[in-house]
């Protein structure tokens, strides 16, 4: 059932040309970066290196992830380069093993094939996925999280293509959208003023083994331009920077994380590890949707925002703070005096 070979790029090219002749599904696309119709972007793939020639192969699995024990029993994957069959029925091709150990009916081969299929199918993070923009088949980590999208719950486009799409979309945002986003960031900073804690950098590096938590890239504490401290729970949702909310990331990883909610960027296993390393709240880290931090001093934040210069546009500020309080659902956290002051 799972023995067929992966699509190759030529197949994708042919399919795309046929679909173009048939006419693409009409969608509104303002980026000029089009998705390729016909890509099974929700399907899971397996990636494995041929044990005979070391060629990287991909096999499409579909919408149901394999159980490792079932994969061992039923799968038969043929290397597209040398034709070697990866199956529990196959002898092993290792010249540095005794012949009796290579025999498919030996305990050594049995254990090897069990481990081989377990490595490829044990966790969602073990799988691969096809980007429906650049068509590449890439590891799980190359796609950002998207809840309830296929068995892997990953976005349709890889993070590289997502970056390209955002590069086109961001300048198209209206001045009003940019202004509102700026105001929201500014007010969030005011709410968190006095809430952030001192982060001991040496202790931070020690906790994370002097490596970027996401990429495992070694980091130099003295090279401040190469690393960042990530708010695991973003300040956008009013979480201050504390030991329990701080992760060490490389510049590249931090740029990809931005203000994403943790489970939209980190894998489940990474979230568990983060909670262990930082002492953070795993239930909060793994929440499917952002949860606003309502434990901050909202009234003090309002006071800070309304401290304006004489010529400032006070009515405009009042309108802005009211919108933000409603956006964050923090009106009930106001004192009666501030509710009356702001007209709630």
Reported confidence tier of residue 302, pLDDT bands at 50, 70, 90: confident
The pLDDT of residue 278 is above 60: yes
- Each domain of the chain, given as residue ranges in start order, spans 9-166, 196-285
Q: What is the pLDDT of residue 267?
A: 92
70 vs 73: CA distance, rounded Å: 5
**128-130 β-sheet, strand order:** 56-62, 44-49, 128-130, 137-139
Mean pLDDT of 125-132: 94
Q: What is the pLDDT of residue 309?
A: 64
Mean pLDDT of 256-270: 91
Mean pLDDT of 208-225: 93
Reported confidence tier of residue 2, pLDDT bands at 50, 70, 90: very low
Query: Do the bridges between strand 77-78 and strand 44-49 make them parallel or antiparallel, or are there none, so unpaired?
Result: unpaired
Write the burial class of residue 191 (CB in 10 Å: 0-12 exposed, 13-18 middle, 19+ buried): buried
Q: What is the mean pLDDT of the chain?
A: 85
């Amino acid at each position: 059932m799972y023995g067929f070979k992966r699509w190759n790029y030529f197949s994708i090219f042919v399919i795309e040309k046929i679909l173009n002749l048939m006419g693409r599904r009409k969608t509104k696309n303002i980026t000029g970066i089009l998705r390729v119709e016909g890509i099974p972007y929700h399907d899971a793939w397996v990636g494995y290196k041929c044990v005979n020639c070391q060629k990287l192969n991909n096999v499409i699995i579909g919408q149901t992830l394999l159980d490792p024990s079932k994969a061992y029993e039923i799968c038969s994957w043929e290397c597209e380069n040398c034709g070697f069959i990866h199956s529990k029925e196959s002898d092993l091709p290792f010249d540095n093993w005794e012949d009796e150990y290579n025999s498919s009916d030996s305990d050594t081969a049995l254990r090897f094939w069990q481990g081989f299929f377990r490595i490829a199918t044990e966790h969602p993070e073990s799988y691969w996925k096809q980007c429906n923009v650049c068509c590449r088949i890439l590891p799980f980590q190359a796609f950002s999280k998207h809840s309830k999208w296929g068995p892997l719950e990953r976005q349709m486009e890889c993070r590289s293509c997502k970056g390209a799409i955002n590069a086109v979309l961001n300048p198209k945002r209206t001045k009003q959208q940019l202004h509102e986003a700026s105001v929201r960031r500014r007010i969030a900073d005011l709410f968190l003023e006095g809430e952030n804690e001192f982060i001991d950098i040496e202790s931070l590096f020690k906790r994370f083994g002097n490596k970027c938590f996401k990429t495992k890239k070694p980091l130099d504490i003295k090279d401040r331009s190469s690393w960042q401290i990530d708010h695991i729970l973003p300040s956008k949702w009013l979480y201050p920077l504390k030991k329990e909310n701080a992760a060490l990331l490389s510049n590249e990883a931090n740029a990809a994380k931005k203000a994403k909610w943790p489970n939209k960027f980190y894998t489940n296993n990474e979230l568990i590890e983060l909670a262990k390393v930082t002492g953070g709240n795993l239930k909060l880290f793994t929440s499917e949707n952002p949860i606003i931090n309502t434990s901050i001093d909202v009234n003090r934040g309002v006071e800070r925002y309304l401290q304006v210069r004489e010529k400032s546009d006070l009515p405009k500020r009042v309108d802005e703070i009211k919108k933000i309080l409603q956006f964050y659902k923090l009106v009930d956290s106001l004192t009666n005096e501030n509710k009356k002051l702001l007209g709630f």
